């Protein structure tokens, strides 16, 4: 999967992965990154993602409209999915590329769409943890950079209070070091307590929450994985 900005929109192109794999990843990324009112850290299975993808529309639309007028073709539509407000459509173009359109925002969609594309890349490559340069690139999009000599864990703890008011779920993912789908059960309990019990927590409360971990949750989780 690769993407580039063409005529003001990010266009996604298939490479070694087939179009269904890419569409599944984008549908899952849209779902995981959408605003929600209920379950923290929800995701989709491949089968659930497939329910939103309609590749069969292409041949019918070409037959009805002709190969020139058939595109851009809406290939996946997501409105309210569970407790998530997705409001998104994936369009396919005649060159085989795709775009993501978000109906839930009237303003520039660049940052949100780029975040979806990056999450889609992570899903395709099975990259589920935030470390090193990947962590840097994600946090930089929110205007923060790593200090000299700062470890991943120190960096994640430091920026957490600033990121939480912008996007609580993303901030918790970064603090815990992985996509919410892969949180350990004990970390999920702590994250849900903060999210559901503390309404509009202050910066100092958020700092104390981050400092309350005995060690980097990602390191602890990896240690648990090696023991099982």
pLDDT on residue 107: 56
> How far are the Cα atoms of 54, 116, 129 from residue 138, in angstroms, in the given order?
31, 12, 12
Q: What is the spatial order of strands in the sheet that 73-81 belongs to? A: 2-6, 9-13, 98-102, 84-92, 73-81
**Would you say residue 38 has pLDDT above 80?**
no
pLDDT higher than 60, residue 226: no
Instruction: Look up the pTM and report it.
Output: 0.87
Q: What is the pLDDT at residue 227?
A: 37
Reduce the DSSP state of residue 168 to 3 states and report it: helix
How far, in Å, CA of 211 to CA of 209, rounded? 5
Q: Can you give the C-alpha Rg of the chain in angstroms?
A: 19
Residue 220 confidence class, pLDDT cut points 50, 70, 90: confident
Bigger pLDDT: 204 vs 222: 204
| Position 40 confidence tier, pLDDT thresholds 50, 70, 90 | confident
Most confident of 8-17, 32-41, 42-51, 110-119: 42-51
- State the DSSP H helix or E strand holding residue 133, giving kind and residue range, or none if neither: helix 132-140
Q: Quick one: which of 126, 125, 119, 124 has its CA closest to 141?
A: 119
46-102 pLDDT, tens digit per residue, is 999 999 999 888 888 898 898 888 889 899 999 999 989 999 999 999 998 999 999
Q: What is the dihedral of CA 213, 218, 222, 228, to 10 degrees?
A: 60
Q: What is the CB neighbour count within 10 angstroms for residue 53? A: 18
Residues in the chain: 228
Q: 123-172 pLDDT, tens per residue?
A: 999 998 999 999 999 999 899 999 999 999 999 999 999 999 988 999 99
Predicted local confidence at residue 14, as pLDDT: 86
Residues in contact with 225: Cβ distance below 8 Å, sequence separation at least 6, in sequence order: none
pLDDT digits (tens, 9 = 90+) for 183-215: 888 888 889 888 888 778 899 999 999 998 889
118 in Cβ contact with 32 (< 8 Å): no
168-176 and 132-140 helices cross at what angle (nearest 10)? 160
Residue-level pLDDT at 173: 95
pLDDT of residue 105 exceeding 70 = no
Question: Greater confidence, 26 or 110?
Answer: 26
Q: What confidence score (pLDDT) does residue 228 get?
A: 41
Cα–Cα dist 15/110, whole Å: 22
What number is the average pLDDT over the span 8-24?
88
Q: How many other CB atoms are there within 10 angstroms of residue 67's CB atom? A: 10
């Amino acid at each position: 999967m690769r993407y580039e900005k063409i005529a003001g929109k990010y266009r996604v192109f298939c490479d070694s992965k087939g179009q269904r794999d890419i569409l599944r990843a984008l549908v899952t990324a849209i779902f995981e990154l959408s605003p929600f009112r209920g379950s923290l850290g929800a995701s989709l299975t491949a089968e659930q993602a497939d329910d939103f993808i309609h590749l069969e529309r292409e041949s019918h639309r070409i037959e009805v409209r002709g190969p020139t007028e058939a595109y851009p073709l809406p290939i996946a539509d997501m409105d309210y999915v569970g407790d998530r407000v997705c409001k998104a459509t994936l369009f396919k173009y005649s060159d085989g590329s795709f775009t993501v359109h978000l109906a839930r925002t009237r303003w520039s969609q660049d940052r949100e769409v780029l975040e979806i594309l990056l999450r889609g890349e992570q899903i395709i490559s099975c990259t589920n943890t935030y470390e090193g340069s990947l962590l840097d690139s994600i946090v930089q999009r929110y205007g923060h950079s790593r200090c000299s000599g700062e470890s991943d864990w120190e960096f994640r703890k430091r920026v957490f209070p600033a990121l939480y008011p912008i996007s609580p779920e993303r901030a918790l993912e970064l603090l815990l070091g992985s996509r919410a789908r892969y949180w350990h059960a004990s970390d999920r309990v702590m994250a849900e307590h903060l999210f559901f019990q503390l309404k509009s927590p202050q910066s100092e409360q958020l700092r104390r929450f981050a400092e309350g971990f005995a060690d980097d949750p990602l390191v602890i989780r990896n240690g648990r994985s090696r023991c099982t």
